[in-house]
Amino acid sequence: MLKKLPWFTPDGGIEYEYRQALSEGLPVEHLKEAFDCVAALKAGSPEKISLAVVLHDLVADIARQNDRSVTPEPDDLEVILSLAPPEPELLASGIDDANRYDRIYGAWLARCIGCLLGQPVEGWTRARIVGLCKDSGNWPIKYYLSSDQPSLIIERYGIVNQLAWAGNKKVNWINNVTCMPEDDDTNYTIIGLKILEKYGTGFNSDDVAECWLENLPMLHLCTAERVAYRNLANGLYPPKSARFRNPFREWIGAQIRADIYGYVSPGQPRQAAALAWRDATISHVRNGIYGEMLVAAMLAAAAVATDTKQVIIAGLSAIPDTSRLARAIRQVIDSFDKGLPLEAVVDQIHSIWRETVEFDWCHTLPNAMVVITSLLYGALDFDKTLGIGLCSGFDTDCNCATIGSICGMMLGASALPDKWIEPIHDTINSGVDGFGQISISELARRTVNLIISK
């Protein structure tokens, strides 16, 4: 049975460990042939598992031999913040008692909207997504994606309503849903709310781990989170739970868990980032951690800032200026400031990262670049911003959820178009114990009760 659970045994993702180690600057080139040989073995076989363990542990030994305490990409919170630019002064349009619920509700709603928009085409290439949107008359993007299409379009784009490989799981085209379906992108926001309600803002990483084990079924988690869950169940506590035999440690999973920490920290980017750091370190390292800190800080700024460029600068103030993530974001900002056309910037991202390679598709950096591109070029036009996120490819539901959350926080629920809100009927399904099916407005009200004042 365990052979059917991706990422459960140590051979899961071993084909990505070599590239991950290289990207961290570790001298592992001499191991490439061994990695290739092990990756080619049958998944879940005793031989592959035992050899994968050897390779994971060899990389860990190499990392220990190379002093990781002296690095431009630290994991320690104080060192991270010491290498970050100064926190900017935000021009406040601000959350106050009169509008705080509208802003928070807008963020929750728009996170769900963006996630639902991107779900059906998660894993599709950029060209396939754009082709479907154009051929179905949804270009520029103005509404959710539907499988109710002429047979020619269905055949051309391989549209299905059920995924055979996933036990005939329903595909969440808008014509197949009556509320916001369960998704890991929203489960993490909800369990973040539960963490804050149970432990308060003084929670630590062990509290996050405990809450996961008590409230999230393992198979509702993916990649780095599932590996961390396995490690936690085996008695490995944070931060070791993030590092032990985890080839996904810089993937997007932490970045999609950030939102709740920004929601409760309006106008306080570094406070939001510090909360996010406690969450991220149970499953991620380096740029995986920074992705969550970045998004949390941006959302804290989005609660009070007047434009998206301010929000992005606030996000950069929470991560090391020396990191690969910061460099990637500055590249997008520089391109925008120079007046490069949108398509050219998206082309640049695709020239660096290959969307057809799972490591690239799921990595924090290209997806963060898509988020930043969408915010800059979308300029708070809700349809346009979500459309850029969707049609840039990579992890579409994750990116559109994050983009939506930031726009929803800046605009407020009252400014969101009804056409996006009405189909989900203020209702979300959750895989988090104790929530089940719940109104999004209730989640927003409970979030408002947790806001940390300056």
Query: What CATH superfamily classification does 77-118+181-448 receive?
Result: ADP-ribosylation/Crystallin J1 (1.10.4080.10)
Three-state secondary structure string covering the chain: CHHHCCCCCCCCCHHHHHHHHHHCCCCCHHHHHHHHHHHCCCCCCHHHHHHHHHHHHHHHHHHHHCCCCCCCCCCCHHHHHHCCCCCCCCCCCCCCCCCHHHHHHHHHHHHHHHHHHHHHHCCCCHHHHHHHHHHCCCCCCCCCCCCCCCHHHHHHHCCCCEEHHHCCEECCCHHHCCCECCCHHHHHHHHHHHHHHHHCCCCCHHHHHHHHHHHCCHHHCCHHHHHHHHHHHCCCCCCHHHHCCCCCCCECCCHHHCHHHHHCCCCCHHHHHHHHHHHHCCCCCHHHHHHHHHHHHHHHHHCCCCCHHHHHHHHHCCCCCCCHHHHHHHHHHHHHHCCCCHHHHHHHHHHHCCCCCHHHHHEHHHHHHHHHHHHHHHCCCHHHHHHHHHHCCCCHHHHHHHHHHHHHHHHCHHHCCHHHHHHHCCEEECCCCCCCEEEHHHHHHHHHCCCCCC
What is the pLDDT at residue 5? 63
What is the pLDDT at residue 1? 36
What is the pLDDT at residue 166? 64
For the record, the structure tokens of 126 come out as 């950029």
pLDDT in tens, the chain (454 residues): 344 567 778 888 999 999 999 999 999 999 999 999 999 999 989 999 999 999 999 999 999 888 655 578 999 999 999 999 998 887 666 677 678 999 999 999 999 999 999 999 999 999 999 999 999 999 999 999 999 999 999 999 999 999 876 666 899 999 999 999 999 999 999 999 999 999 999 999 999 999 999 999 888 889 999 999 999 999 999 999 999 999 999 999 999 999 999 999 999 999 999 999 999 999 999 999 999 999 999 999 999 998 999 999 999 999 999 999 999 999 999 999 999 999 999 999 999 999 999 999 999 999 999 999 999 999 999 999 999 999 999 999 999 999 999 999 999 999 999 999 999 999 999 999 999 999 999 999 999 999 987 6
* pTM recorded for the entire structure: 0.96
Domain assignments of the chain as residue spans, ordered by start: 2-65, 77-118+181-448, 125-176
Determine the length of the chain.
Answer: 454
Per-residue CA distances from 160 to 96, 133, 153, 354 (Å): 46, 16, 11, 25
CB of 430 closer than 8 Å to CB of 182: yes
For the record, the structure tokens of 67 come out as 């002093």
What is the pLDDT at residue 167? 66
